[in-house]
Structures are given as C-alpha cells and as structure tokens.
Amino acid sequence: METPMLIDPSFHNYMHHTLQSCHQYRSNMYYYILNFGILFLFVLIVGFALYSCSLNKLSDLEKQQKMIEDQQYVMSKIRHYKQEIHDNKEMVTNITNLPGLEHF
C-alpha cells in the first residue's frame, strides 16, 4: 500500500523548484558578498601600503644629506685603506732596516 500524499505532485514539484531557485539565489548572493568583501579588503591593504610608502619617502634635502653622508663614508674608507697600505709599506722597510731603492 502506498503512503498517502497530502499535496498534489505538481505542487510538490513547483515547491521543490522554487526552494531550489531560492537556495541558488542565496548562494549567489553569499558568493558576491564574499568576493566584494575580499576585493574591498585587498584594495584597502594595497592602498594603506602605498600611502605608508608615500609618507616614508625622503625629501630632496634629506636625499642630499644622505648622499653627502654616503660620500663621506666612502672617502673615510678610502683614506683608511690608503693609510693601512702606507703603514704596511713602512713596516716592510723597517723589518730589514735596509735603505729603500729610492736612493739608487
């Protein structure tokens, strides 16, 4: 014996398709909201990164000062190495206490 049906089969199909379309619509809305939320978050992070980079940018005066400091550092290293080479030459000539070849 079949179980009794309380609703008409055509109405049952109509309700099934209606509920299925409602579910599909709701799922699409969730996906759109999620995607736009992720897009907004991404744009916000990139915008904040670009803004913070623009704040940390050096001015022309600061760039000139940094360039002068770098040049002074390089020149001090060159002087240091020249002095070291000169000291090494003096040490080599002082080891044997012989006159240098400059006299000949």
Q: Considering only residues 95 and 66, tell me which one the structure prediction assigns the higher pLDDT.
A: 66
C-alpha 34/C-alpha 22 separation (Å) is 18
CA distance 79 to 72: 10
Q: Report the alpha-carbon distance of residue 93 to residue 74 in Å, rounded.
A: 29
Residue 88 lies in a domain: yes
Same domain as 65, residue 36? no
Regarding whether 91 and 53 lie in a shared domain, the answer is no
pTM: 0.51
- 42 and 64 share a domain? no
Same domain for 50 and 39, yes or no, is yes
Does 47 lie in the same domain as 20? yes
| Res. 100: pLDDT tops 90 | no
Q: What is the total residue count of the chain?
A: 104
Residues 63 and 28 in one domain: no
Are residues 49 and 16 part of one domain? yes
Does the pLDDT of residue 102 top 70, yes or no? no
Residues 12-45 have pLDDT tens digits of 999 999 999 999 999 999 999 999 999 999 999 9
22 vs 89, which has greater pLDDT?
22
Residue 68 and residue 37 share a domain: no
Domain carrying residue 36: 11-57
At residue 18's C-alpha, the angle toward residues 17 and 19, to 5°, is: 90
> In the chain, how many domains are there?
2
